[in-house]
Structure 1
Amino acid sequence: MKKLTGSLIALVAYLMFVQPVFAQSENNALVPLPSLEDFTRGEDGWAFGLGLGIEYESAYEGSDEFGFELDPAGAIQWRRGDNIFYFAGEALGWRGLRAETWLFEVTLGFDEGRQESDSKKGRLDGLGDADEGFELVLQTKKAFSNDWRYWLDGRIITGDDGNLGLFGVGRRFGDQRDGTGSDIALAVLFHDRKYANKDFGINAAQAAASGLAETNMSGGFRSVGLHYNYRKYITKNWQIFGEVLYEHYGSDVRRSPIARKNFEGEVGIGFLYVF
C-alpha cells in the first residue's frame, strides 16, 4: 500500500505542474459542482469564504445517538488557471482540472478520532479514546462531458489507521457554471482490516473494560452512501448551503456491538460570506 500511495502522490505532483489543455471561461468555477467550494469567481489570485453551519448528525460511527453541532465553514483559496490551492479548517490541499473533464485532488487532513465522551449514554465507556492523526486523501473525478452533468468518482483515504476506498457516480442539477445549484452522489465504500477495526473493532482489553464482546473486523465492503449538496447565492456575497448524508452499513459492520444503528446520518445547513 505504501508503494501505491507513493506512486499516486508522484502522479498528483506531476499533474499539479502540467499546463491544462483548456482554460476556464471567465467567472466560471473550476468545476461547477456545489459539493466543491470555489470562491474565486473564475479569477486568479486569493479568495476567501467564511461562515457557520449547524448539523444534526450521528454522535460517532454506528451511534444510535444524534445531536446538533455548530461548525465553522469556508476556506482560504489561491487560484492560478485551472489549479486551486486551499486551506479549509483542518485540511490543506490542491485540486486541478485537466482537459475539462478530469479533476484531480490531494488533501492532507486531520482526523480527531473518537472519544469515550462522544456517547452521552455511556455506549463507549471502557473503549478508550481513539488516537488523533493525519490522513492523506487522493481523489479523481471524471465527467462524461464538460458540463459536468454526470461524473465518476474514485477516492483513497490513507493514514496510520488504515485505508478507505470509495467509488461513486454523481449527477449535477441546474445549468449554473458558478458552483451553485445542487448535486447528488451515490458511492460504495471499502475498508481494510486496520481501518475497520479503528471504527468498529473491540480488542481483548476493551472487551474486559466495557463488557462488550471482543470483535475482530475483517476488511472488505463497508457501506453504501448517498450525499446531496445544495448551494445558492442569496446576494452578491452571501451563500446559503446545505447537505444530507446517509451511509448504510454492510452486514460485517453491523455485527459489531459498536454499530447500534445500521446507518450513519447527517443533515446540515449554513451561511457563507464570500469576500
Structure 2
Amino acid sequence: MKKFIGLLLSVFLPSFFMQSAFAQDQETALVPLPSVQDFTKGQDGWGVGLGLSLEYETAYEGSDEFGFEVGPAGAVQWRRGDDVFYWAGEALGWRGLRSDTWLFDAAVAFDEGREEADSDEGHLDGLGDQDESAEVVLQARRAFDADWRHWLVGRVVTGGDGTLGLFGVGRRFGEQMDGSGSEVNLVAVFHDSEYANRGFGITPAQSAASGLAETRLSGGLRSVGIDYNYRHYINENWQIFGEALFEYYSSEVRDSPIARSNYETEVGIGFIYVF
C-alpha cells in the first residue's frame, strides 16, 4: 500500500483548508511523523480516531489488475508518557519513544491471505486459497535529530509463513510537531524462501492444476520501493490523510508466473474524526 494523489494533496489541501485549520502548535505527538498515528493530543489517557479510507491498489501481490477498496481507518489508543498501546484495524500493539531519537513498535497483526477470486481474469485459478494468518511485526526507527527530520527504519514481519525484513531511510517535511505534514521513505525489502514462495512460488500440485510452470524462489532481495505519507488537520477533530506507495520487484520475483507486473502500487486517501 500510492504516491501521486498524496503528492497532489500536499500541494493543494493546505491552502484549501487554511481558513479552517486548527492551530495545534501546543500539541506534541509521540513522534512528529504523519505515518505514526497519535490521537492522544499529547496527553496521557485515551485517544480515539475513527474514519474511512479509499484505496486504489493492485488486486494481489504481482497482479496487473487494479481496483478500489473502501475500509475503516483510525485506531483506539491509550497513552502513558512515551508509551502508546493501540488497536488499529487488525493489529494490536505497543509503541514507545526512548531517548527522543528511538521509536520502537511491536504488534500482532493478520495477513489477509490470497484467494483465487482475487483475480477477475482468472490468473490465480488452480493455485488454491491462502488462509489469513497471524504475524508479529517488530519495528525500530532511529532519528538523527530530536525533531525527527531524518531517520533510519528497520522492520521485521514474521509468522507461520516465513519472514520479511525492511530497511530504509526517511525524511520529514514541514515544521509541525503534532504529526501533520508529510514524509517520504526509501526502502529495500528482503524475504526468506518460505515467505517468498507463499507469495510467488508454485508447487508441483499447483502447477498441475493451474498450468503455470512450477516455481521455487530462494529468498533474498524482494524489492526496492518508495512510500509517501501526508496528514493534515482540518480542525480540532477532523484529519485528512493520504498515502502513496511504489514497490519494484527483484528479478527473481519478476520471473515468477504469478508476477504479471514488475511492480506493486497503491494510492489511498481518507478522513478521520478524533474524539
TM-score (norm. length: structure 2): 0.90
**Structure-1 separation of matches of 2:255 and 2:154:** 27
- Counting only pairs closer than 5 Å after superposition, residues 1-275 of structure 1 correspond to structure 2 as 27-275=27-275
Q: What residue is the counterpart of 2:3 in the other structure?
A: none
CA contact (8 A) 1:109 1:137 kept: yes
Query: Displacement, 1:27?
Result: 2.0
CA contact (8 A) 1:84 1:96 kept: yes
Query: Displacement, 1:132?
Result: 1.5
CA contact (8 A) 1:153 1:168 kept: yes
Q: What residue is the counterpart of 1:3 in the other structure?
A: none
**Structure-2 separation of matches of 1:150 and 1:249:** 26
Cα RMSD of the aligned pairs, angstroms, is: 0.9
SS of the residue aligned with 2:117?
A: helix
Query: Displacement, 1:131?
Result: 2.2
Query: Displacement, 1:26?
Result: 6.2
Q: Which has the higher contact order (CA 8 A, sep 6+)?
A: 2
The amino acid across from 1:212 in the alignment is: L
What do the CA deviations read for 1:233-252 (whole angstroms, capped 9, x no partner)? 11110000000010000000
What do the CA deviations read for 1:55-111 (whole angstroms, capped 9, x no partner)? 000000000000000010000000000000000010000000000000011010011
Query: Displacement, 1:216?
Result: 0.6
**Structure-1 separation of matches of 2:104 and 2:204:** 41
Identity, in percent, stands at: 68
The amino acid across from 2:34 in the alignment is: P
Q: Any runs of at least 4 consecutive aligned residues in structure 1 with deviations exceeding 6 A, and if so which? A: none
The amino acid across from 1:262 in the alignment is: N
**Structure-2 separation of matches of 1:131 and 1:224:** 27
> 1:269/1:34 Cα in 2 relative to 1: closer, same or farther (>3 Å)?
same
The amino acid across from 1:257 in the alignment is: P
SS of the residue aligned with 2:271?
A: strand
Structure 1, unmatched stretches of 5+, are: 1-24
**Structure-1 separation of matches of 2:52 and 2:234:** 15
CA contact (8 A) 1:53 1:271 kept: yes
**Structure-1 separation of matches of 2:185 and 2:244:** 11
**Structure-1 separation of matches of 2:232 and 2:26:** 19
**Structure-2 separation of matches of 1:168 and 1:238:** 31
**Structure-2 separation of matches of 1:46 and 1:272:** 16
- What is the count of residue pairs matched by the alignment? 251
Structure 2, unmatched stretches of 5+, are: 1-24
The amino acid across from 1:226 in the alignment is: I
TM-score (norm. length: structure 1): 0.90
The amino acid across from 2:183 in the alignment is: D
**Structure-1 separation of matches of 2:51 and 2:44:** 22
CA contact (8 A) 1:245 1:266 kept: yes
**Structure-2 separation of matches of 1:105 and 1:269:** 24
